[in-house]
Structure 1
């Protein structure tokens, strides 16, 4: 697996994902810290995984979709799905790799899942267990509780579909990098050497969303990531191109079902500080 940027090993535990694919246990947990701007290039795993960060926000991409994953969320990634991960700041990634039989009850497609305080602390504890933990002892009970927690989770509609056409994907990538870019559809059509009508039609056809709806969803996901990392609401609103905090708050409440101030992360215990 190729990586760009800087990753920080956590303790003496391996940070090579390959070492977790054949462990003869239902679950194996890998802790790894990443510096801002780090990127895990496209890859896939033999085991399914729950991608979670106790701090920091990740952007995970597959061939057809993008997800922004803040600390209150995790992304379920089935086995064999090619994906890449970009770190949108300092990230303390805590990944669970599940054996196929243990993951049989989980979704067959990528899904965003909520992470409660209990599940978060269980994930952190799992990274401290021996890889060959005693299945009949306390460690086995921790793993059983993690699986029980996962089985009751409802997925969240936070997927951002990506178009197939290379010109449209370039526009989407640009908006993911600068979600506050307010250029109208006509301007983007010019950059892709397409007519406005053609761009609008192809965007709807390939993503199921209009250009405006896609851009708003991208902004919502970006806002969730930034707020989940603790950024102030005012800064997020202005940097995403909104003229006022009230306009941003109204949009966010409609999309997320809660005020942005309530979505911001709060300090929590159970994990060590990031070390670069």
Structure 2
């Protein structure tokens, strides 16, 4: 199993000194293995902030969603910041690790593919769009359905026929809600070049430390021109475009603390108007919509 990059996402107060991660063993996924009888299985565990589920993979797809805190899912060369208002889809066989940015209940759903016996109703998982990680907007209905699914393992007593029938109905609704969900651009691509890795990890730790690429490049041992070229060749974008994705990820984590947009903008070195313009330019929606604050207002929080 490859060692995955999982740098922590510190809080605003703790960005200067990184917190140490504690590692927790993986709950045996084979005790929650989906089958033709139970094509969608769910497990739940409550994990404290700064803990990481050991890097792993499994032969079926999964969807992870937290109740109450931000999580971070890391691949070999990408990382995703996922607040409670979103869920993340991971295709089968892809090594990944989950880090808890905040204490939360972590639900993991496993999905049996059509070719393994789930039937035509699971054919959507074979579509190209579902063959890569994607962050989904999690509706209130999807979150409620996830909470209702049984989290018993195969070591527990089998479900009664009535409970099994109910699970089938809930599972079908979960799949339907996921297919309808809006896809959010929250992934941060990470480079393979060692010099650029060092720079990118520093930006992930604190994107506001320097204003421009010239200052960031000083610690890499490479020239400004070389670093700019590496961003284009390794990541397919400019440094400014990549850093904006990091800023958006930090904004998501801050928004999960129910901070107002003006506060989030200030933490990230923006005026409220400049931050709102950057968000709209990057993701095509208002800052309030992107950060889920319209949901908070509608729920009366």
TM-score bin, normalised by smaller chain: 0.7 to 0.9
Q: Equivalences for 1:221-236 in 2 at 5 Å?
A: 221-236=249-264
| Alignment check: 8 A CA contact 1:21 1:46 kept | no
TM-score (norm. length: structure 2): 0.77
- Deviation string 1:109-138 (CA, Å, 9 cap, x unpaired) is 111111111011001111456765447622
Instruction: Between 33-42 and 201-210, report the one with greater CA deviation.
Output: 33-42
Instruction: Determine whether 1:113 maps to 2:129.
Output: no
Residue 5 of structure 1, aligned match among 22, 28, 36 = 22
Q: Which of these residues, 134, 145, 152, is aligned with residue 122 of structure 1?
A: 145
What is the alpha-carbon distance in structure 2 between the residues aligned to residue 160 and residue 80 of structure 1? 20
SS in 1 for 2:148: helix
* TM-score scaled by length of structure 1: 0.83
Greater mean alpha carbon deviation, residues 169-178 or residues 128-137: 128-137
Distance 2:257 2:58 in 1: 27
Task: Establish whether residue 87 from structure 1 lines up as the match of residue 100 from structure 2.
Answer: yes
What residue in structure 2 maps to residue 57 of structure 1?
Answer: 70
CA RMSD, Structure 1 to Structure 2 (Å): 3.0
Is 1:55–1:229's contact at 8 Å kept on the other side of the alignment? no
Secondary structure of the structure 1 residue equivalent to 2:136 = strand
Q: Does 1:153 align with 2:181?
A: yes
2:166 is equivalent to residue 138 of structure 1:
yes
Does the CA contact (< 8 Å) of 1:71 and 1:229 recur in 2?
no
Counterpart residue number, 2:265: 237
Gaps of 5+ in 2: 4-20
Structure 1 segments of 4+ aligned residues over 6 angstroms from their partners? none
CA distance in 2, matches of 1:59, 1:128: 22
Q: Specify the alignment match of 1:247 in structure 2.
A: 274
> CA, structure 1 residues 169+89, in 2 after alignment: closer, same or farther (shift >3 Å)?
same
2:57 matched to which residue of 1? Answer: 44
Corresponding pairs, count: 263
Partner residue, 2:9: none
